[in-house]
Amino acid sequence: MDLVQQVIGNLEITEDKAEKGIGALLMALRASLDRVAFDGVKAALPHSERLMGRALMSGARTGEMAAVAGPAGLYAALAAAGFQKDDIPRLGRIVLEYLRPAIGSDNVEKFLASAPALRG
């Protein structure tokens, strides 16, 4: 199943919101992973650039996305995309488990350690 569809089904949200949330997570991952690891993300999600663009556009009117510089800005980015605090760990779990085979468990755990908003 497509990642966007998994997020829609599990969180019962719109496609637009799912794409923005996934995109925000991907932007944080891109800032925290090395290039080789992020190439794994691109292979697993060939439309990752479009998803990251969707996340950027979600905060364009107020500029909230400008502060996203990796995991530290993730909570603000997800809030700007319309996610409630309780949904953020669920979103993170779905996305990271989907990407785990592509980026490896070590990278997933490293990212989770730097992104406390995903721990719940």
pLDDT digits (tens, 9 = 90+) for 67-80: 455 777 888 889 88
Q: Which domain holds residue 65?
A: 3-118
Give the chain's domain count.
Answer: 1
Q: Contacts from 106-110 at CB under 8 Å and sequence distance 24+?
A: 107/33, 107/37, 110/32
Q: Which residue has the tokens 């989770």?
A: 112
Token pair recorded at residue 20 = 């923005």
pLDDT digits (tens, 9 = 90+) for 37-86: 999 999 999 999 999 988 877 654 444 444 455 777 888 889 888 999 89
Cβ-contact 81, 26 below 8 angstroms? no
**Cut 0.75: pTM above it:** yes
